[in-house]
Structure 1
Amino acid sequence: MAEAHQAVAFQFTITPEGIDLQLSYQALNQIYLSGVRSWKKRVSRIRNRVIKGMYPASPSSWLFVVIAILATMYTRSDPSMGLIAKIQQHLPLSLHVSLSAQGQTMLSALVFSTLLWLSLILALRFCLKLLLSYHRWMFEQHGRVSNTTKIWVTLLRLLSSRKPLLYSYQTSLPHLPVPAIKDTLSRYLESARPLLADSEFKRMTRLASDFECNLGNRLQRYLKLKALWATNYVSDWWEEYIYLRSRGPIMVNSNYYGMDFLYVTPTSMQAARAGNTITAMLLYRRKVNREELKPSRVPGTVIPLCAAQTERMFNTTRTPGVETDVLQHWLDSEFVAVYHKGRYFRLWVYRAGRLLSPREIESQIQKILDDPSPPQPGEDKLGALTAGDRIPWSQMRKLHFSSGVNKRSLDAIEKAAFFVTLDDEEQGMRGNDPAGNLDRYAKSLLHGKCYDRWYDKSFSVVIYKNGKNGLNAEHSWADAPTVAHLWEYTLATDAFHLGYTEDGHCKGEVDRSLPPPQRLIWDISPEVQAQVCRSLAVAQALADDVDCHVFPFRDFGKGQIKKLRVSPDAFIQIALQLAYYRDRGGFCLTYEASMTRLFREGRTETVRSCSNESSAFVKALESGETAEQCQRLFKLASERHQNLYRLAMTGAGIDRHLFCLYVVSKYLGVESPFLKEVLSEPWRLSTSQTPVQQMELFDLKNHPEFVSLGGGFGPVADDGYGVSYIIVGEDMINFHVSCKHSCKETSSHMFGGQINKALRDIMSVLTADTKTPSCSKALARP
């Protein structure tokens, strides 16, 4: 076999004359080149650590300080105020003997200059941290910027003028503050008011007051102690208790998906699309490893966001445990794992330290597609173990995958850069039923066949038979914006930079001596096969219950919304409240994901979008109030929503604070009726916006067909909806709605229709003549 010859660097035989070594210079050369690549990466990591360690200063600034000190000494003045002389006195005796008096003075000046330089770096980093702790700018009205904020922006630009690496800002980001318990409880009660009857609200007020006066302050002290010690008082507990300790299936319940372009498929050749997609992702990984990616920033500003989630993007897997799962990350991986028609393969993407060309990867993928060998017994549905409950998978892994061929094959999957599925179906908006096909496309990416993805990997790329692609991402290691950033780069690089030949193949040359992909070998016992069937049954029941609906809204987009001086996100969230009210006849606890990446290791916070103001607007609209009254109430609702979003982003949210207080109570072994009730409330409407972060990659003006569909997730509550949306360009909003068939009161298609109508109705009201006697007449206008 070709791969066996490449794997052996030398052979030897024993003859009467002695040992005869037969060296394979080609193999030795490949080992040498691979080692060179490894050492280059190590040197690059060390260099980057040094550069980001001194940010916002530069290495050349050290030389400037040294020259300045020496030049000052040349004028016979002492800038150190006697410190250089003291350093000279404490030099080792050996230096006093070997160096002249002038040499000792120069060495002492050099030491002083270095210490001064390090002190200046610490001072600059402290100043940068103070500047990044200022958040009042976010609460100022557009066009009414205070002088304080103007000065702050100027200073921040000065300190950020040098080009940063990906992680340069990490140590300068502020820590997430612990809100005052009184403020959190006050905000909670305000968010609960539109959802509770008067008697229930009074009861919750008493519970909150009792909690604040008694147990709350005790829990708060422990939490503040943790905040002093930990980098982020929320993130480690959030990752562990919300994600890793969940014992149910992560498929549908936790994992989420991202879609391809809506209208365009760059090539219909499956192997070619896989070649470019894999290459683009590996190029992104190279940028991450070299820290060449620009740090993400708050859109339209110079304010950096935490990049910690990027570290575990590649070469990462979630391994199951009995009580909790564990995230495992490896520094590097030179291969990807590939699944096709029940078979698993290891595909090496580097050769002699060189990344294979897209055409070479296409050729390797084509070999997998052409491989006629059948799956081994129990191999075809093995991935169902990652889709079912976690405890059985943990037990099977420990008993049957901890040694021998099974361990080697499992290692090949778990240590891979990422997982690739070559799906044998066709997907996308196509054929005579484009709307229905979009829904099936979403379901396919969310759960597939329940065994043809490896749900434990940080992400699995899916390449369909007709060239369409997508991904399924595991949630514990990072949130959707981090994965979306990778996916934007992948789609843009695939379509606009790597490109395809006229006949649809990848570009580049092929090295015909490449060894074929390595088929993974398994020894699946009857016991494991039985558990695979049980896990598949659990996963299949969950998948069959999911109702998905994807639709692009084209009537208007953020361009028309902004002309009304309204936040597009607030507009959509209020429309969702109206849609839910019409769908279910009331309001519900609503979750909108907001980021806290203004802080170090920040992840998400909840914006409770159902507010007193939004519910007042919805009731006024439905009861036929005047257009003027509805417009006034809408303005209050949108301003309230924006304020809630800003509070969440700046660490003054409600839910993460209450969650951490609850964790502390569990550690102390005390019960809180208030916390127990608050944290058991179901999120019947769970929403999230997928932000477009790299608009410069897509020229939608000249290529409007290259619009993204965004991505989605499963419903959080059994009787609720999951709604994801992406604002694309100026004139389109794409929605992903999910719910469960088992709940007779929910329907993703009906709710999608309500969203569509709510958006149009609100726009009609906001653009109506204020002399219109009622909202109902405004809505009746075409």
Structure 2
Amino acid sequence: MYKLPLPMTHGIKYTANVFKAIKRGLNLNTHQLPKQPVPDLQDTVEKYLRSVKPLLDDYEYCQTEAVVEKFMQNEAPILHKKLLEKFKNTDNWMTEWWINKAYLGYRNPVIVHSSPGTIGPQMNFREPYSFITNAARIVIAISEYDKLVKSGKIKQEFVRNEPLDMQPYGMFLGSHRQPAPICDKLLHNNDAKHIIIICNNNFYKLNIIDESGIMPENSLKASLKDIIDRSQIEGDPVGILTGNHRDVWAEDYNILISLGNNKNNIKDIETSLFALCLDKNMPQEAFNCKNVSSVRAVQCLTGYSTDVNAANRWHDKTVQYIISEDGCVGMLYEHSPCEGGPIAILQDYVLKYLARRENAARKELDKSFPRATLLKFELNERIRESISQASCAVNELSEDTDMVCFKFKDFGFEMIKSLKLSPDSFIQMAMNTAFYKVQGKPPAHYETASLRRFHNARTECIRSTSTDSVYFAKLLISNDSTQAKKQAMLKAIDTHKKIVSEAVIGQGVDRHLFGLKMIALEEGIQLPEFYKDAGYTRSTHFTLTSSQVAYKTESFMCYGPVAPDGYGCCYNPRLQDIFFACSSFNSCPTTNTEDFANALQETLREMLELAKS
């Protein structure tokens, strides 16, 4: 998905050890899974040529065909043979490369660029007691969910008759991304008994699990109230450092842990189960030009600004739950350990727990509650200067992030299915067409395909743009007949369904080409001209990044674009409605999130009318 620096081998081994440690302590798969296949080389290049054709003019396409032919005659068979050897000698030929390339080796800030946010429905905390009560219940819900996972009692999921890998459910709670030069490290603590609570930039460690179980609600509420009372004075904004460029943060990290007790403080953060961010209320002016969902998206992704909540975070922590008195309940997760599906399950679990406890009888706070430990950071002038620089960088990125999030109420996937159409393909073609409407050209469109039917696998790219999708987009904005438009739409949807069906069984394009490239780099083979050709560079500069993350609750996931001139679009399709989170960068003169969102809604309505005609 990303254009990143090359991975370094020193990070790969470390990541492999993390996976092995988790598997030794927890096996959630009752059915064995096959290995992720290496596709047939000829099939891959044929699919590749079909995918780049709508993105190139005739001359460029002829050039790309020549480059592909040369690649197939020279380097490709050699690299493919070596990749097949790696397939035989590993449980998954792609995963370690991918984690280090797409995530741990990614050097841009994790916020906006990599870590997705989850936004729940707006809450109504009528008084501070209600806010503290719900914060305590979030902690208990997550702790109970972690207990459920570790018990091994969660049932293995299936797609039709094929089992899915459940190990990602054991990956995110207790995990942490540790900064390091060039390539970060992924840590995991299977036995986490404490959490980190961040309030007004102050960090606290609270033990929530002992031999008697999870801390009772009344004790937890008293502990949280005590933390809020002790946090009236704003803490040093140390957390802002984690939102900076990864190499800068890695350098600052090494200085930070050399001061006072900071090393132990950070170890407490690294080994915690998750972080709970007790946020300040958002300023009212934030809602002047944006709806509540769009503002909450920025709050969860960046903290909005250093004057509000941007330093009330520790972005290396895999799970940060966010709650504020003005009704925000959301989450930010660091993407290295797993994809969005298990995160969505956790969010639904938490919100259902809150709903079940909503009318529980009010009880007095426990007077003998355990007090959280304040993690007091020692700073020097060098770190204070780094905090100032990181604050500027995070504020600039947050201001540049333009989110438009909304609930599309006209119909949901039930209506689309009633017309015997694939909801995912229908919605993806609407996005694809909306991009064409506002940009006047087809997108290099990345849609995420899960590979959980394979052992220890991550994702494949669905190259959603096709000659058929472009033909439909052009026809839809023309004066052609309704019948011609409908036939073009149905063909575009069918083509997309075929591309999806290939990707989800490990027969896509991008991971195979990525594997061949990694073989060349590791073997010291000169990088083939193929990877410098316009066909490859343009088709991997993803100007539209989309993914379906399904929640049963009124929640949605959001993220930023992966290209400076691109759009991000995540969606949650439900029976009667669809939640969308659209994004672009304000600094790009050629993109506009509101225009894209409006075009998307217009296209969805037009496509439904065509389907009904």
With structure 1 as the length reference, what TM-score do the two structures score? 0.71
Distance (whole Å) between structure 2 residues aligned to residue 765 and residue 472 of structure 1? 38
Distance (whole Å) between structure 2 residues aligned to residue 663 and residue 580 of structure 1? 32
Counterparts in 2 of 1:440-589, with a 5 A limit? 440-448=295-303, 449=305, 450-496=310-356, 498-501=357-360, 511-589=366-444
Q: 1:201 to 1:195 in 2, by over 3 A?
A: same
Distance (whole Å) between structure 2 residues aligned to residue 362 and residue 313 of structure 1? 25
Whether 1:272 aligns to 2:272 is no
Equivalent position SS for 2:331: strand
Alpha-carbon contact 1:256-1:473 (below 8 Å) kept: yes
Distance (whole Å) between structure 2 residues aligned to residue 272 and residue 688 of structure 1? 34
> Which whole-Å deviations, capped at 9, do the CAs of 1:42-76 have from their partners, x for residues lacking one?
xxx99x97xx7xxxxxxxxxxxxxxxxxxxxxxxx
**Offset of residue 602 of structure 1:** 1.4
Alpha-carbon contact 2:200-2:232 (below 8 Å) kept: no
> Which whole-Å deviations, capped at 9, do the CAs of 1:693-741 have from their partners, x for residues lacking one?
xx5xxxxxxxxxxx4131110111111100011112x210111000000
The aligned residue for residue 98 of structure 2 is 238
Alpha-carbon contact 1:426-1:468 (below 8 Å) kept: no
The aligned residue for residue 167 of structure 2 is 308
**Offset of residue 403 of structure 1:** 6.5
Equivalent position SS for 1:556: coil
The aligned residue for residue 6 of structure 2 is none
Q: 1:519 to 1:177 in 2, by over 3 A?
A: same
Equivalent position SS for 1:572: helix
Alpha-carbon contact 1:338-1:422 (below 8 Å) kept: yes
Q: 1:356 to 1:267 in 2, by over 3 A?
A: farther
Distance (whole Å) between structure 1 residues aligned to residue 541 and residue 281 of structure 2? 36
Distance (whole Å) between structure 1 residues aligned to residue 477 and residue 531 of structure 2? 34
**Offset of residue 626 of structure 1:** 1.7
Whether 1:665 aligns to 2:520 is yes
Whether 1:717 aligns to 2:576 is no
> Which whole-Å deviations, capped at 9, do the CAs of 1:385-427 have from their partners, x for residues lacking one?
1100112222222233046411111112111110111001159
Equivalent position SS for 1:228: helix
615-624 or 281-290, which deviates more:
615-624
Whether 1:292 aligns to 2:153 is yes
Distance (whole Å) between structure 2 residues aligned to residue 266 and residue 177 of structure 1? 50
Counterparts in 2 of 1:741-756, with a 5 A limit? 741-756=586-601
Q: 1:388 to 1:431 in 2, by over 3 A?
A: closer
The amino acid of 2:297's aligned partner reads A
**Offset of residue 228 of structure 1:** 0.6
Alpha-carbon contact 1:267-1:500 (below 8 Å) kept: no
Whether 1:361 aligns to 2:206 is no
Q: 1:431 to 1:272 in 2, by over 3 A?
A: farther
Equivalent position SS for 2:74: helix
Alpha-carbon contact 1:179-1:657 (below 8 Å) kept: yes
Higher relative contact order (CA 8 A, sep 6+): 2
The amino acid of 1:389's aligned partner reads H
Distance (whole Å) between structure 1 residues aligned to residue 327 and residue 420 of structure 2? 41
The amino acid of 1:282's aligned partner reads S
Whether 1:763 aligns to 2:608 is yes
Distance (whole Å) between structure 2 residues aligned to residue 620 and residue 391 of structure 1? 47
Equivalent position SS for 1:632: helix
Q: 1:603 to 1:318 in 2, by over 3 A?
A: same
- Listed as ranges, the gaps of 5+ residues in structure 2 are 1-22
Counterparts in 2 of 1:64-103, with a 5 A limit? none
The amino acid of 1:727's aligned partner reads P
Alpha-carbon contact 1:341-1:380 (below 8 Å) kept: no
Alpha-carbon contact 1:591-1:608 (below 8 Å) kept: yes
The amino acid of 1:675's aligned partner reads Y
Q: 1:500 to 1:577 in 2, by over 3 A?
A: same
Distance (whole Å) between structure 1 residues aligned to residue 37 and residue 529 of structure 2? 25
Equivalent position SS for 1:527: helix
**Offset of residue 276 of structure 1:** 0.7
Distance (whole Å) between structure 2 residues aligned to residue 516 and residue 176 of structure 1? 48
Name the Cα RMSD after superposition.
2.2
Distance (whole Å) between structure 2 residues aligned to residue 372 and residue 283 of structure 1? 27
With structure 2 as the length reference, what TM-score do the two structures score? 0.90
Alpha-carbon contact 2:545-2:568 (below 8 Å) kept: yes
Distance (whole Å) between structure 2 residues aligned to residue 403 and residue 386 of structure 1? 17
Distance (whole Å) between structure 1 residues aligned to residue 464 and residue 87 of structure 2? 27
Counterparts in 2 of 1:566-645, with a 5 A limit? 566-645=421-500
The aligned residue for residue 507 of structure 2 is 652
The amino acid of 2:280's aligned partner reads D
The aligned residue for residue 256 of structure 1 is 116
Counting aligned pairs with the same residue, the percent is 27
The amino acid of 2:166's aligned partner reads A
Distance (whole Å) between structure 1 residues aligned to residue 359 and residue 384 of structure 2? 42
Distance (whole Å) between structure 1 residues aligned to residue 256 and residue 289 of structure 2? 44
The aligned residue for residue 248 of structure 2 is 392
Equivalent position SS for 2:73: helix
Equivalent position SS for 1:718: coil
Q: 1:512 to 1:266 in 2, by over 3 A?
A: same
The aligned residue for residue 167 of structure 1 is 29
- Listed as ranges, the gaps of 5+ residues in structure 1 are 1-44, 53-165, 696-706, 769-782
Distance (whole Å) between structure 2 residues aligned to residue 197 and residue 333 of structure 1? 55
Alpha-carbon contact 2:287-2:295 (below 8 Å) kept: no
Distance (whole Å) between structure 1 residues aligned to residue 523 and residue 56 of structure 2? 31
Distance (whole Å) between structure 1 residues aligned to residue 124 and residue 87 of structure 2? 48
> Which whole-Å deviations, capped at 9, do the CAs of 1:614-653 have from their partners, x for residues lacking one?
1112222222222222222222111111111110110100
The amino acid of 1:421's aligned partner reads C
Alpha-carbon contact 1:174-1:600 (below 8 Å) kept: yes
Alpha-carbon contact 1:547-1:738 (below 8 Å) kept: yes
Distance (whole Å) between structure 2 residues aligned to residue 385 and residue 211 of structure 1? 44
Equivalent position SS for 1:739: strand
The aligned residue for residue 194 of structure 1 is 54
Q: 1:319 aligns with which of 178, 189, 194?
A: 178
Equivalent position SS for 1:540: helix
The amino acid of 1:726's aligned partner reads N
Alpha-carbon contact 1:589-1:684 (below 8 Å) kept: yes
Distance (whole Å) between structure 2 residues aligned to residue 194 and residue 390 of structure 1? 36
**Offset of residue 352 of structure 1:** 4.5
**Offset of residue 267 of structure 1:** 6.6
Task: Flag the structure with larger Rg.
Answer: 1
Distance (whole Å) between structure 1 residues aligned to residue 289 and residue 391 of structure 2? 29
